[in-house]
Structure 1
């Protein structure tokens, strides 16, 4: 079993590889292929615009017992949020001293963002776009390519989207536009990433057409 230190040192791509490897239909698949799919699905989810959701939200407890933070059901489309798991997650943020990264309510927002992507990927053009990005071709006929479903990829994409949205929240709060250099009152077009355990925001600083690329580091 992984230790907390092992988990802290493991990035999202590796978690994605492990999830895929443990998913039925992927037994015996090459690790390189799983790594490719995990990388593509992560980038796809992180690049999605905020997904609107028309689901009804119901709050209940009992999530800790089953290891659930949130889940979606259909007929009618509903997102179930487990308040006991949310409370434990918020308490953990305080225990780890990460409240400046994750303001109160950000765990709930991330859970809803995660489920909104599942709703978005249930059918339609976004689902097709993910299949094409993954490149799992199951049928070729001349120039025609039929792309197959990659079990587990939607979960990775939803997680990446929720985590990216969370970064937007905590880095956006940490870095308000500076009145002086380099921002001169304006920061725009942010992108987010991590390196060596630290979160960074790369953004456009300064007046339009006269700006520069700047970096903000959380922590």
Structure 2
């Protein structure tokens, strides 16, 4: 399926996707935030600060002596392209990471076609998807959620010395991608590859525009 999708790509598609290389990883984070509901009209510089902070937060999670522990089971499905998903984390009834093998296959094919294999070694995409979802598990259940909020410093209420930190939608995605990039030794953020993947898969497969990693409570 992946090869047929790429073979049907409009003329010039791969030249356009290769131009993504000129965009730095933080800018991909800015674009993610800008396209996330609640951030309409926000100052681009604020979005860039949040993107950089979230990226640094995620990368720092990978610098510990052990990778993030996860209790999630890993299952595989083959209908990710129809759903516009590469992986999805759910916490109920039991923590689960669902990997979509058809989307992963397309990502591997696209990596080879674009000549990006030196950034995304063979087999690293599956590992990065699992690592990505491990961060969402931590942000869903553990103290990392509060730590990320504090690092972003999005204060929504002040009362004397007390501050209430608001949720920055999309920041968890950037942090998860940065963790996966760092812990899996990738040369570029998976955000670059997922941008290319969405451009190839969505117009031809009719999948709705949505992040390639999903979360459900």
* Structures share fold, TM-score greater than 0.5: yes
- Do residues 118 (structure 1) and 136 (structure 2) align? yes
What is the match of residue 53 of structure 2?
A: 40
User: Distance between the aligned counterparts of 1:47 and 1:114, measured in 2?
Assistant: 14
For structure 2, list consecutive stretches of 5 or more residues without a partner in the other structure: 1-12, 190-217
Distance change (3 Å), C-alpha of 1:54 and 1:66: same
The two structures, once aligned, show a CA RMSD in angstroms of 2.3
For 2:171, which of 149, 153, 157 is the aligned residue?
Answer: 153
- Name the SS for the 1:167 alignment partner: coil
- Do residues 57 (structure 1) and 74 (structure 2) align? yes
For 1:94, which of 88, 112, 115 is the aligned residue?
Answer: 112
- Do residues 83 (structure 1) and 83 (structure 2) align? no
User: Distance between the aligned counterparts of 1:94 and 1:5, measured in 2?
Assistant: 12
Residue pair 1:102, 1:166 contacting (<8 A) in 2 also: no
Residue pair 2:53, 2:151 contacting (<8 A) in 1 also: yes
Distance change (3 Å), C-alpha of 1:108 and 1:156: same
- Do residues 12 (structure 1) and 25 (structure 2) align? yes
Q: If the length of structure 2 is used for normalisation, what is the TM-score?
A: 0.72
For 1:67, which of 80, 84, 99 is the aligned residue?
Answer: 84
User: Distance between the aligned counterparts of 1:103 and 1:6, measured in 2?
Assistant: 20
Write out per-residue CA displacement over residues 88-124 of structure 1, whole angstroms, 9 at most, x where no aligned residue.
2222333344445544321100000000000001133
For structure 1, list consecutive stretches of 5 or more residues without a partner in the other structure: 171-191, 194-219
Write out per-residue CA displacement over residues 158-187 of structure 1, whole angstroms, 9 at most, x where no aligned residue.
01111112226x8xxxxxxxxxxxxxxxxx
What is the match of residue 200 of structure 1?
A: none
Richer in helix (by share): 2
User: Distance between the aligned counterparts of 2:161 and 2:174, measured in 1?
Assistant: 30
